[in-house]
Amino acid sequence: MTLCALQPTQGYKAFKGPVVTVIMDGVGLGTEDERDGVFVANTPILDRFLREPLMVKLKAHGTAVGLPSEGDMGNSEVGHNALGAGRIFAQGAQLVNDALASGSVFQGAAWGELSKRGLSGHTLHFIGLLSDGNVHSNIKQLFLLLDRCAKDMLPKVRLHILLDGRDVDQKSGLQYIAALEEKLASFDSALDYRIASGGGRMITTMDRYNANWSVVERGWKAHVLGVGRQFSSAAEAVQTYYDEDAEMTDQYMESFVVVDGVGPVGTIGDGDGVVYFNFRGDRAIQISQAFEDDDFSAFDRVRRPDAFYVGIMQYDGDAMIPKQFLVQPPAIDKTLGEYLCATKVSSYAISETQKFGHVTYFWNGNKSGYIDEAYEKYEEVLSDKIAFDLKPWMKAGEITDKVIDAVGAGEYKFIRLNFPNGDMVGHTGDVAAIRVAVETVDICLKRIERAVKKAGGVLVVTADHGNADCMWSMKNDKRNPMVAHTLNPVPFVVKDYSNANDFELNVIERPGLANVAATLCCLLGLEPPADYEPSLVKLRK
């Protein structure tokens, strides 16, 4: 559908400079005590911004971003969907929950083919993140899928589990494995259901944005080929890794393969069915390509089984990855990017590899590539392949350099960027590194603010969800690193250096990330689409 151009706002005075939106990934507004990495960091620029008259706290979790409940943490994907779409769409977790509750997930051709293969003697494999973090997956959804396998008496199922330790406690893998083993033991003894392989999510299978294909290769070897360190059970593997390295956490655990007296218990072969049960797309695409692509050169697959591969959702609708899926993804249309292109507003989007897809693909409603290259430029700064706590400044300096150049060039009216530091380093739980990460972003804010002020533009500063704002929690009188996202609100600040218009806050009862798109329209002098959530600011009368 071709969108109509947005209409100009009456009484708005145009100005030369750009509207620059900075997304401080993972920087929420927390408890303002020693646990709060944003509060304890030295951030004079952010501190000043939080006292600005055009500052409001935004809800960035739960139903405000399309998740099932108020207890669900926001994440970068749903956050950027809301920021770019201006409306709230039911997201992966809720869509899968609904499909499982209604049974529609089992009524399509994809599940029919999986069931057919299982009943004909082939193995049905499930690959995915074993946790209840509800960011990439949910163990309850996996259990419902297994229940259906057992109900249909599919004789042989194998589980290839990825340990979390990122959206849940750092060392919680054993409790999820115990729950899964208990579930498997509850089925008819005639059914052969077992865990076959696994590994930590950050080094096994779940790479994203082509950052490090060796992660996917490691998973391929364990899940498909049965190549990896061997153990008699998943629990033995995890406990052994813990015992060998007291600092080992689940997300960085080496891959493992479960074996019996014959060998690996669950390699993937010709005729088998494979379900990737993560609902979030970014860390599902590359493993899907490894199974599906005929022309594949990222690593030597050794052998590619003639298996029927299915995602619980389609992770990239434009590229059709994967080709077969169980649940329809959210249909996000009429994004801010589409409207700006229709209105011939030039824009520039940039981040480093870790979040580049967020200011492009997710911002644009889960759509790959340019909307209209005549009015857009996307730029990716390649991320380093190093643990984030060892280089917490990441590529923030390089991103800032390019943004300042873009502001100075005067070619773009709308600029958006993402600093991944607060989120990626926040996930490590390293207190010193988190402080450095947040302070790095603050230094970069100072530089960008100067450039916007010089150009006579408008600076917008916000975030997509919390993370760095809670570094640890207390349990049994002991500090435990908090590596998951938070339920805290995020800041939204407008700093107007154009001296052209007089904006004031709009009174909104429960402002959230979905209100940002209309706000950006107003700052650009455009009437927001009628179905967008209302703007956070308005022209003073």
pLDDT tens sequence across 314-367: 887 667 899 999 998 788 999 999 999 999 999 999 999 999 999 999 999 989
Dump pLDDT digits (tens) for 149-162: 999 999 999 999 99
231 lies in the same domain as 347: no
Distances (CA, A) of 94 to 72, 90, 176: 11, 6, 21
* Same-domain status, 64 and 159: no
What's the rounded Cα separation, in Å, for the pair 192 and 141? Answer: 20
User: How far apart (Å, rounded) are the C-alpha atoms in residues 242 and 208?
Assistant: 26
CA dist 477 and 471 (Å) reads: 16
Residue 165 and residue 283 in one domain:
yes
Active site residue 76: yes
Tell me which of 69, 76, 137, 535 is the catalytic residue. Answer: 76
**Residue 57 sits in the same domain as residue 127:** no
CATH number at residue 307: 3.40.1450.10
Q: Any idea what the CATH number is for the domain that residue 484 is in?
A: 3.40.720.10
232 assigned to some structural domain:
yes
Q: Is residue 14 part of a domain?
A: no
Mean pLDDT of all residues in 493-509: 97
User: Which pLDDT does position 258 carry in this prediction?
Assistant: 98
Q: Does residue 6 lie within any of the structural domains?
A: no
Give the range of the structural domain holding residue 144, as residue numbers without chain letter: 93-327
**345 shares its domain with 269:** no
Domain closes at, from 327, 354, 385: 327
pTM here is: 0.80
Burial (CB count <10 Å: 0-12, 13-18, 19+), residue 288: buried
Average pLDDT, the chain: 96
The answer as to whether 340 is a domain residue is: yes
Within-domain flag for 465: yes
Stretch 160-165: mean pLDDT: 98
Tokens 């790095």, residue located: 440
One domain for residues 55 and 190: no
Can you state the angle between helices 285-292 and 213-220, rounded to 10 degrees? 60
Q: Is the pLDDT of residue 519 over 90?
A: yes
Q: 43 vs 37, 388, 391, 447, CA distance in Å?
A: 11, 20, 19, 13
Q: Number of folded domains in the chain?
A: 2
- Do 399 and 310 fall into the same domain? no
**Whether residue 67 is found in the same domain as residue 117:** no
Tell me which residue has tokens 């490090």.
212
233 and 167 assigned to the same domain? yes
Burial of 480 (C-beta count, 10 Å sphere; 0-12/13-18/19+): middle
Instruction: Determine the pLDDT at residue 531.
Output: 97
Give the whole-number percent of the chain exceeding pLDDT 90.
90
Residue 519 in domain: yes
**Starting from the edge strand earliest in sequence, which strands make up the sheet with 414-419, in order?**
55-58, 490-496, 458-462, 19-24, 414-419, 347-352, 376-381
The pLDDT-based confidence of 480 (bands split at 50, 70, 90) is: confident
Q: Is the domain of 253 the same as that of 238? A: yes
From 292, 327, 362, give the residue that closes a domain: 327
pLDDT for residue 364: 97
| DSSP structure class, residue 505 | E
Q: Does residue 111 lie in a domain region?
A: yes
What integer pLDDT is reported at residue 107 of this predicted model? Answer: 95
- Summarised one tens digit per residue, pLDDT across range 214-240 is 999 999 999 999 999 999 999 999 999
Pair (207, 264) in one structural domain: yes
Give domain status of residue 7, yes or no. Answer: no
Residue by residue, DSSP assigns 111-126 as HHHHHHHHHTTPPEEE
Verify that 352 and 469 share a domain, yes or no: yes
* Residue ending a domain, choose from 296, 327, 358: 327
